[in-house]
């Protein structure tokens, strides 16, 4: 049984609405699935935590190296001072060289100890930063764990809605003749939307006012009417 003119245009309009609904549902579903697979906030926090720990480890290694250098310099200074006070260096030239080396070693030790102190302060600050970032990460991960059930439920709802709309779409498509459906597809491909609703005397597709005589004809016509400007089927709703 063939449907009437208004039934045909209405069926095509419903097809168009359902296609938009399906497209949005699929986009929403893809976003939910993406959020379930990969949480950007958690990923950023984990990356930040990893970089903070890497920087902290580097500071610890640098502190360790400085500590070794300080100990080696202290040992060398002790050795030099023992030689100085042993009285075994009789020649004035050798004594002057030893004193000069002791002075240089003391300066080096002071410089290394100053650097070590500064590095220890950096390590302490780094340790606090790591603790703060770890706490933030734990909070973000906890919030994410709480959100997962909600996202899973939303995923199920969107999947079911998409199935329902697909079934309704098949029913609406069956109510349209192959010729009208083909025309609809051609318009859809060229215009983006094939059916334009008439709103406040204008075609919603191109927003151009429909002449009054065409509006009058649209109310009484027994054949599908298309916008004289954009060519879309007109639907009065």
Characterize 27-45 residue by residue with b for buried, 16 or more Cβ atoms within 10 angstroms of its Cβ, and e for exposed: ebbeebeebeeebeeeeeb
Domain membership of residue 80 as a residue range: 38-148
Same domain? 66 vs 24: no
Mean pLDDT by 10 residues, the chain (237 residues): 55 90 92 90 94 97 97 95 77 81 96 97 97 96 93 94 89 85 92 92 93 87 84 88
Same domain? 185 vs 216: yes
Q: Residue 91 has what pLDDT?
A: 63
Is residue 199, in this structure, part of any structural domain at all? Answer: yes
The enclosing domain of 215 has a CATH number of 1.10.287.1490
Q: Residue 92 has what pLDDT?
A: 64
Domains: count for the chain: 2
Is residue 169, in this structure, part of any structural domain at all? Answer: no
Q: Residue 90 has what pLDDT?
A: 57
Same domain? 203 vs 228: yes
Residue whose structure tokens are 């939307």: 193
Is residue 163, in this structure, part of any structural domain at all? Answer: no
Same domain? 61 vs 22: no
Single out the residue in 100, 133, 148 at which a domain terminates.
148
201 alpha-carbon distance from chain centroid: 43
Assigned token pair, 194: 């094939």
The answer to whether the CB of 133 falls within 8 A of the CB of 51 is no
Same domain? 61 vs 92: yes
Q: Residue 5 has what pLDDT?
A: 43
Same domain? 43 vs 131: yes
Is residue 9, in this structure, part of any structural domain at all? Answer: yes
The model scores a pTM over 0.75: no
Give the Cα separation of 117 and 126 in Å (integer): 14
Q: Residue 84 has what pLDDT?
A: 84
Is residue 55, in this structure, part of any structural domain at all? Answer: yes
């Amino acid at each position: 049984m063939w449907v009437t003119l208004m039934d045909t245009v209405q069926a095509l309009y419903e097809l168009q609405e359902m296609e938009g609904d399906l497209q949005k549902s699929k986009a929403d579903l893809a976003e939910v699935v993406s959020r379930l697979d990969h949480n950007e906030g958690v990923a950023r926090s984990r990356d930040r935590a990893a970089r903070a720990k890497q920087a902290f480890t580097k500071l610890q290694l640098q502190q360790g190296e400085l500590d070794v250098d300080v100990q080696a310099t202290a040992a060398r200074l002790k050795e030099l001072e023992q030689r100085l006070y042993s009285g075994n260096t009789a020649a004035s030239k050798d004594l002057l060289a030893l004193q000069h080396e002791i002075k240089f070693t003391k300066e080096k030790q002071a410089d290394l100890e100053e650097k070590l102190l500064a590095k220890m302060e950096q390590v302490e600050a780094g340790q606090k930063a790591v603790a703060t970032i770890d706490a933030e990460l734990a909070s973000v991960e906890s919030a994410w764990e709480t959100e997962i059930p909600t996202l899973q439920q939303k995923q199920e709802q969107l999947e079911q809605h998409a199935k329902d709309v697909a079934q309704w779409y098949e029913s609406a498509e069956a109510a349209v003749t192959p010729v009208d459906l083909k025309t609809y597809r051609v318009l859809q491909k060229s215009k983006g939307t094939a059916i334009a609703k008439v709103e406040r005397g204008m075609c919603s597709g191109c927003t151009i006012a429909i002449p009054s005589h065409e509006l009058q004809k649209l109310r009484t016509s027994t054949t599908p009417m298309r916008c004289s400007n954009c060519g879309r089927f007109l639907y009065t709703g």
